[in-house]
Amino acid sequence: MADKTRGTTLFVFFRFSAFLFCLLLAPVPTSSHRPKLRFGLNGEFKILQVADMHFANGATTRCLDVLPPQKAHCSDLNTTVFMSRVIAAEKPDLIVFTGDNIFGFDVKDPVKSMNAAFAPAIASKIPWVAILGNHDQESTLTRQELMKHIVKLPNTLSQVNPPEAAHYIDGFGNYNLQIRGAAESSLQNKSVLNLYFLDSGDYSSVPYMEGYDWVKTSQQFWFERTSKRLQRVYNAEPNPQQGTAPGLAYFHIPLPEFWSFDSKNATKGVRQEGTYSASTNSGFFTTLVTRGDVKSVFVGHDHVNDFCGKLKGLNLCYGGGFGYHAYGKAGWERRARVVVAELNKKKGDVKAIRTWKRLDDQHLSVIDAQVLWTSSVNGSVASRL
Ligand SMILES: *[C@@H]1O[C@H](CO)[C@@H](O)[C@H](O)[C@H]1NC(C)=O
Ligand SMILES: *[C@@H]1O[C@H](CO)[C@@H](O)[C@H](O)[C@H]1NC(C)=O
Ligand SMILES: *[C@@H]1O[C@H](CO)[C@@H](O)[C@H](O)[C@H]1NC(C)=O
Ligand SMILES: *[C@@H]1O[C@H](CO)[C@@H](O)[C@H](O)[C@H]1NC(C)=O
């Protein structure tokens, strides 16, 4: 009995301490509680993009567009197995889900489906983030409810929206992540690579502008402010740096400028369907090129396009369809895109950004390796400074 009382007293004490501790932390934004991302001692930071899982109910959800002999034994679980394999093969530092994570229309319980869809990433203990596509909310949860659930899952760095912009920004799932220099280097406390995640919405609700949604003016405004703020910090003491740190932007629906490429003049990869962007051009491409820090945009949405093309110094890259319950092309393997940023060993800033894709075949074949950007004086950074 006595022991029990003592236990309770101790418990109350601990609870009270925890409460005080939380009070102390209260003014600090939640992001400071989360693990900080930085380059590894090998001088690299690797990102795995998973586009369009279209996960539904697991074992009972059949695959679309696989070869006739593959039909009988193929379900959402193949998507799960592919993810576990590619995570094990690449050991990324961050996993990015670029929307249509679940195919809401076929989903019975969106919370269950989302938890199952992200399960291999959660099990890997690798930090991960997700944004939404146009199909995620087609079940019983709204886009806001979906993001509110995602941010509570283990090891995620996703945010519903940035606190400083929450009162004006459109959509749910706009945020920025900063990747600091390698430990023990002079840039260990500076962000040397900036990631932007944006909610490209689902369907237009504007009369006379039907079709898919777009990155709104409020989001572009937030992007521009954030990019300028990050540059000020990058250029400031201690260890002031020149120019901007490179950035990468991830969202779901392609910009209309993705239309500028076909299989022949994309730098790598193929076009096998149209670009299903918004029917209007919201100018985000111009905003990105004008600002100049983002070197590549990564989207999903059009599953059987997987190219990168370079327009006005900005790379436009598709991830390529990942999920088996998503439409695809029978015999054309499901795939994932990997991006690696590499540090300049001497200065500690980013020297190059490369990409390749992994196919879901027996050997997880690597294809279409290419350099997206380098910091050489002849590179795009110098011409914009
Ligand atoms: C899906 O997984 C099953 C069971 O492991 C396997 O037999 C089948 O080949 C996979 N299908 C595809 C298309 O990868
Ligand atoms: C980085 O920050 C840590 C902790 O504040 C500090 O001890 C260290 O000296 C800083 N290093 C550099 C290179 O700025
Ligand atoms: C690529 O080729 C297509 C078709 O020939 C053309 O319309 C487009 O302008 C080209 N794009 C670039 C960036 O050269
Ligand atoms: C930049 O380009 C010039 C002329 O093409 C070349 O001579 C020089 O070696 C290049 N510099 C670097 C660092 O690539």
* pLDDT digits 0-9 by tens, 289-319: 999 999 999 999 999 999 999 999 999 999 9
Separation CA 38–CA 182 (nearest Å):
6
CA–chain centroid gap for 102, Å, is: 15
Separation CA 213–CA 210 (nearest Å):
9
The pLDDT of residue 265: 96
Separation CA 197–CA 252 (nearest Å):
9
The pLDDT of residue 377: 58
Half-sphere exposure of 80 (CA within 13 A, CB side): 20
Give the ligand 1 atom nearest the CA of 75.
Answer: 1
Helix, strand, coil share of the chain (percent; to 5): 30, 25, 45
- Strand (E) or helix (H) holding 74: none
Q: How far is the CA of 371 from the centre of ligand 3 (A)?
A: 21
The pLDDT of residue 27: 40
CA–chain centroid gap for 69, Å, is: 34
Separation CA 253–CA 9 (nearest Å):
55
The pLDDT of residue 185: 94
Write the pLDDT tens digit of every residue in 243-292. 999 999 999 999 999 999 999 999 999 999 999 999 999 999 999 999 99
Helix (H, G, I), strand (E, B) or coil at 7: helix
**pLDDT < 70 regions, the chain:** 1-33, 377-385
The pLDDT of residue 376: 82
Give the ligand 4 atom nearest the CA of 378.
Answer: 1
Strand 314-318 to 350-359 pairing: unpaired
Q: Is-cis flag, bond preceding 154, omega within 30?
A: no
Give the ligand 2 atom nearest the CA of 186.
Answer: 13
8 A C-beta contact, residue 385 and residue 243: yes
Q: What is the fold of 2-383?
A: Purple Acid Phosphatase; chain A, domain 2 (3.60.21)
Q: How far is the CA of 236 from the centre of ligand 2 (A)?
A: 15
In eight-state DSSP terms, residue 27 is T
Calculate ∠ Cα 325-328-330, nearest 5°: 105
8 A C-beta contact, residue 49 and residue 128: no
Q: How far is the CA of 36 from the centre of ligand 2 (A)?
A: 14
Identify the residue whose C-alpha is closest to ligand 1 atom 7. 73
Closest Cα to residue 212, out of 225, 203, 222? 203
Domain boundaries, the chain: 2-383
